[in-house]
Every structure is written in C-alpha cells, then in structure tokens.
Chain A
C-alpha cells in the first residue's frame, strides 16, 4: 500500500516542476496609480506583425501563467506565433505582481473594483505606451472577462476588440454549490482584510490530483477529455494565487443578490454593459461548471455593442467537451478556442479600419 502510494506520488510529482518562462519573454512592471507594481510579460510577434497587440488576463485565484503555462499551453505564445504581439498580466497580489505590504502603502483589502479601476487601466496604458498602439485587443478568462465588462461598462477605453472566456455576470442559479457558498462563504471569508491561502492549498493537493480520475477537480474545473491531467497539475502548481478576501466577498454578493455591481452597490455593471460599444466575443463551454452557460449568456445579452456568441461543444465541431479551465489550457484550445478569438479580432480589425 505504501509503495503504491509512493509510486503514485512520484509519478504525480514528475509533473510538478515549474516550467520557467522562455528567454525571449520580456518582463515589465508598470505601477498603478495607487502604488502596486503589476507583472506584465511580453511576447513579440513571430515574423511580421499582423495586427494589434493582445493583452491577456487570468481569473480569480490565478495568475499570468494561466494564459502562458508552457510552450504547448500558452494563449500568449500562440498569439505571438500568429503575428500578434501578446502580453500577459497578473492582477495585484497574484503571480509576480506586488503583494500587500502595509509599509509600502499596499494595504488589504483588495476588491474586484481595484482590478477594473486600477490594474486593467494601468496594463492597457502600459502596452499602448510601449507598442505605440492606439488601442489593443484583449482576452480575459473568467473573472478576467468580468474585469473587462466592468471596465468597459464604466467608459474605459483603449480596447479595440475583446474576447471573454467563461465569464459570468450572474451567479445565482440555484445550484447546491451556491447554497454552500451562501452558508459558508461569509464564515470562510470572515473579513475582506485577508488573503485566502488558495496557493498553499493547491500546492498541497497537487500531487494527488491525478490519483482520482473523476474527482472534484475534474468535475469542477476541467475535463480530462480536453486537458491532460498532468497539464492541469502544472497549472495548479504555478498558475494558482491566493484569493483576495475582498474580491471573494464582492463575488459572493453576486451569488446572494444575482447582481453584478461595485462593492458599494452603486454601480450596476450589468445594466451599464448596455453602453459598451467595443466588439465583444463571448466564449462559453458546454460543460463549464464554474461559469455555467446561462451565466455566461447573461453577460452576452447585456452587451450593447457588436457581439458574438461562441459555444465550445462537440455539437459545434469541437473534438471534446470543455470545462472552465480547458478554455485556456486545453490540449486543443489553440485550434478550438484561440483561433476563433483571433479570427474575431481580425474580423473587427478589418471592419473598423478606415
């Protein structure tokens, strides 16, 4: 029994090494107006540039490596290979971005509002300044898409076309998980002034994640028919970040109220999304059990400008069903997700050119 367990752990640990960024990845650290340095990584286009720079943003409890896990699982490097300059970013207190440090004036709590009010504008301004682009394209996964929705709904500029991948705008669908979150969430996140140790938890769980073939991680986050468990395991090891208590509480309020608002409730992002004129591609996955398809569709319906819906499912030609994380690290994501995103950007490049 012990030897079997040891064998499982050893085989599991083989996938646990951090794959470093390649030498040609360029690192930048622009600082937000409220004093947080953000980690941005730049990939220059292979060959002649073929369109605007693209900025990629991860979701909650995650970091820039979600969009750039390794050579074979990297939306950023794939865009660069297609002639698009690609940038990844880590929101504050994730990845290589600054963490909280009261001595330096970087205090908790961190709310969702900080991301769209400070981090995203800083990243957009920096990419535009470095590249000289008048506007850039953007792809956001999960909460990274919600950040774009909030930013654009409040008049944010500098984005030419946007793709959101598994980004919900309602979280009240009567699921058992919601009931659990409503009951336990306020106790687990007793105060917004904490960082939930999701990184530590993920690290401890990582060696065991390939032991069970149909366990809670597969059921909740990814589909093994679309993502190799070893790929998922690497994402857990170095693509996870601690979760800001303030952000968790703000998103918990979506579960309770069904409303997508600022933390004080004064800004109704969903209602204001009707004012968005930037073209948006909304990507959903049939078996996304985090951002349920009706929750993603809710955002699509709220958009006021040019919009396009893309459902990833075998019934639409994909070779497998996708869960939440498969959208960014799936083995076939370059063909089945990234390519349609690039096509959407290119289509709107042409349609909006003078």
Chain B
C-alpha cells in the first residue's frame, strides 16, 4: 500500500510513472531504488540500471523533473536508478568495495534482473565495471568519465577529499560553491541556479572512511579489492562498453579515463565531447543535467544501447 502511494505521488503528469523501493543487503544496509516506466509500453531491450558517482544521488539522473532516467523511460525502456550505500537515501557507506560486491548484486536479485544494461559514472563506475564487467547478467555498459588511471585529478580535488569530501561544506559558502564549480561543473551550460540547487540537494557527504579510501586509491593508482585489484578487474571486464568523456570534468577527468579502452578485455567505444564541435565540454554534472545533455549525450547512450547485437 505504501509503495503504491509513493508511486502515485512520484508519478509525473505524463504517462511516466516513478516508483520507489527499498532493498536491504545481506549485511543489513538499506539501498534506494527508483523505477521509471511508461505503463503499457514495452521495449525489447533489457532494463537499464543507472548508478551515480560517489557523493552524487539519484538527482544526477533525475533532477527537477528532467534527466537521463526520464529521457530513457520516455523512449519506452524500463529504467532503474540505484542509490548504493553512502548515496542519496541509502544507508551509510563506510567502504567502496561493498558498493560493487554486495550492493549491486542485491539490487539485481531484488529486482530479478537477469539481463540488464548499466550506466555508471566516475569512480563508482570504475569500481562497478571492475567487479561486474564480465557479469553474465550485464549486457552492455555506458561509462561516463570512468577513470582507470587513478591519480588525484588536481590539487583542488585532493584538498576536497583530504577534507573528507563534504559537499555540505561546499554548499555553505561562496568559496565552497566555487570549489564545486571547478571540480564538477566547469564551464557547464546549466539553467540558472541549477548548479547551486544540485549542490544543495543532489549531493551527499562522503563518509570520512570513503573519502580517505578514494584518496588513497587515487594516490596509489589502484584500489585493492578482496579478489585482486580494481585495475586487474578492469582488465578482465569484457562487456561492450561505451565510454563518454567530458573534457571539462575536473573530478574524474578524461585524461584518466581514456586508457580504459586499452585496459579492458572487451570492446570499448570512446567519445570525447568538446565545445569545438558544438554543445559544451561537459563536466561531471552537466554531462547528465546540462542544457546540451539531452541533445548531445543522451542520444549517444540510446544509440549504443539500442544498437543490434554484433
């Protein structure tokens, strides 16, 4: 009954319906999963599962009634957005690896997804790709600025993480907003006020252990995992992957992502966006919520997911 009421409350004026459910992992962490679908419309494609980067929430894919989740659902696909531990409304996240090792399988099992396409972003994207890049349930992956060459992207990013990765602090001062702009929204073409609004409501502080672990991963160049390491996991990833890179991403910058096509076992199609070809350079934020995202980015995602099997 509660789920029904939530679904009705979240439904948009169009046919698109949005519903929410909680998924509890084997270690007791509550995850938040949102479902976007148009009733009566079926797609031959498998559902798409969207996962935001560290510090971001569902808002990365659905903010103020717009975003990739609704855009894909409007095309007839069933879309899920998952907030893993430490993200959005999910329970606390104190380590990175459980997001991939525990949370994603829990979501797939709870939703009974035996075939799914993944859209992942940034550092979490690299982690999911490393752990699930050859998961039989995963058909294709769209990786948005997903790094393989880990290093502190800049002095500013390093300082932000060393300070605990607290977005709430950034939101509380003009200087903080400036840091957010440089790292996540550089030269972004966003509607007025959207950047500040997203910082205020679309982000969540990293826990100190996760901020420290992410920084250690960057500094060491790799993330140790229970079975090997992240880079080793990426080397085994075999699912067809589309790597979309925004030139202005200051948090998981393209120079740290481009080598993914050499590291992965599977085929990786790369596209770098820049203002030279129109649109914008795309930052971490604007690749998903920017003014040009629906015309430049989303069609590439759809074209890749909808392309015939090779």
Contact = CB atoms under 8 A, between A and B. Distances in A.
Contact of A297 (B250, B255, B273, B281): B255
Contact of A174 (B256, B259, B269): B269
A286 B247 contact: yes
Given A175-B271, A287-B187, A293-B253, A298 B154 contact: no
A311 interface: yes
Given A174-B270, A292-B254, A314-B156, 19 more contacts: A177-B276, A216-B276, A219-B275, A220-B276, A286-B248, A287-B187, A287-B247, A287-B248, A293-B253, A293-B255, A294-B254, A294-B257, A294-B272, A298-B259, A311-B154, A313-B182, A313-B250, A314-B182, A315-B186
A294 B186 contact: no
B281 to A, nearest CB: 6
Nearest to B296: A176
B258 A297 contact: yes
B119 interface: no
Given A176-B277, A313-B250, A315-B182, A297 B149 contact: yes
Q: Return the 6 tightest CB-CB contacts between A and B, nearest first.
A: A294-B258, A315-B154, A176-B277, A174-B271, A293-B255, A297-B255
A289 B275 contact: yes
Interface residues of A, number: 30
Contact of B155 (A170, A177, A317): A317
Interface of A: 170, 172-177, 216, 219-220, 284, 286-287, 289-290, 292-298, 301, 311, 313-317, 321
B153 interface: yes
A157 B269 CA distance: 38
A51 to B, nearest CB: 27
Contacts of B186: 286, 314-315, 321
Contacts of B276: 175, 177, 216, 219-220, 289-290
A290 B250 CA distance: 18
B30 interface: no
B79 interface: no
A298 B258 contact: yes
B247 A315 contact: no
B78 interface: no
* Listed residue (A173, A284, A290) with the most chain B CB atoms within 10 angstroms of its CB: A173
Contacts of B250: 286, 313, 315
Max chain B CB contacts within 10 Å: which of A175, A315, A317, A321?
A315
Contacts of A172: 270
A292 B272 contact: yes
B255 A284 contact: yes
Interface string B234-276: 0000000000010110100111111100000000011111111
A43 B227 CA distance: 59
A177 B182 CA distance: 26
Nearest to B272: A173
Nearest to B258: A294
A164 to B, nearest CB: 14
